[in-house]
Every structure is written in structure tokens, then in C-alpha cells.
Amino acid sequence: MQTDMIAVPKLNWTRTEDGWYTATDADGASWSIDRHPTVPSRQNDSGSPDWREKWWLHPGADDGNPEIHETCPIVTSAPWTALHRHPEVLRYADVLAAGWRDECWRIANGTPLSEKVMGRGVERAPLSALLGAPVLVHPQLLLDEVLRATRHEGRAYAAEQALREAGLPVPGADGRGDDRD
């Protein structure tokens, strides 16, 4: 993961007459946030579908195309009718519009709540960094992570030494030395 993460550009969301929101990014791509229930094909199979309306991000103008509704991400499930009163939600829509998706896992960040991890292709980043307001991590959490990594490196080194002493090949080394990045 990069440590010099650039914050996601802020889009200028405008509320339309029908209560939805639209914006255009720097590349000229248009986005809309509208409110509707989850389409039947994306409902869970538990036998109790969730028909509550949620706010969804759509690429381009939402013309009711059902294919758009198959892939659009949820911006929020909150029952609010005026997202402009909740700028953090519109800022989250900026992150989604930039191509980042919720990876469905969280990391500890030194606060009572853990932080969402977002992904775009092979990139991973904490949500706060993408929003441009990174959360500082408690020093003890950083130390614990360094100690854990050091323990694993020590175990790997001991295993490599045992393989060498036994005359067995070391996986990944191919006799060329250390292949670690």
C-alpha cells in the first residue's frame, strides 16, 4: 500500500428537482445519486428481502437502465431525504466515483471504531486517507504490528536456515539469495 496516498477530488454535487444528486468529474464523466430499493437480482437469498430505499451511485444519467442497477454501489442506507445536509455521505460518493470500492474489511486505527479499507484494482487504502483526512494510528498499534512482522520474519529465517542445514532447497531462493521485495 502506498504511503503517499492522494486524496480523492471533491465533486460538486447538485440536488435536482426530483431530489436526486448529480455531478461531473474532471474527466467529464457524469454521476448521479438516486434513491430506490435494491433490485430483485441483488437481494439476499435468506427469504426476507430488504425493500427499503437506499441511496445508490450511478455512472452517467440514470435513465432507468436495469443493467446500471446491477453494479452500482450503495452510498448510504440511511433514510435521509436530503444528502446535502450530510456532506460526509457526498464525500463518500466522491470516493466511489473515483473507482474505489469497499473491501468489506476494516483496520484498527487507534480510535474506538475501526476504519474501512477501500480497494481499486490492486491498490488498497484506508477510507480516511482517500477522504483527505487520514486518522493517525495509535503508536501502540504500530508497535504491535512491527513486532508481529518481526516475529514472522524471524520464524521464516529460522526455517530457511533449517532447510539449508538439511541440504534441502529453500523455496523461492533458487540459489540467487534473498528474493524478498
Domain shared by 88 and 19, yes or no: yes
Q: What is the dihedral of CA 158, 164, 169, 171, to 10 degrees?
A: 20
- Shared domain for 90 and 35, answered yes or no, is yes
The reported pTM is 0.73
Tens digit of pLDDT at every position of the chain (181 positions): 444 557 799 999 999 999 999 999 888 889 999 998 888 777 777 778 888 899 999 998 556 666 777 788 999 999 998 999 999 999 999 999 999 999 988 887 777 778 899 999 999 999 999 998 888 887 777 778 788 889 999 999 999 999 999 999 988 755 555 544 4
Q: Which domain holds residue 150?
A: 139-169
Domain identity same for 22 and 95: yes
pLDDT at position 3, please? 47
Q: Are residues 25 and 94 in the same domain?
A: yes
**3-state DSSP of the chain:** CCCCCCCCCCCCCEECCCCCEEEECCCCCEEEEEEEECCHHHCCCCCCCCCCEEEEEEECCCCCCHHHHHHCCEEECCCCCCHHHCHHHHHHHHHHHCCCEEEEEEECCCCCCCEEEEEECCEEEEHHHHHCCCCCCCHHHHHHHHHHHHHHHHHHHHHHHHHHHCCCCCCCCCCCCCCCC
Q: Are residues 18 and 92 in the same domain?
A: yes
pLDDT of residue 120: 93
Q: Does residue 51 lie within any of the structural domains?
A: yes
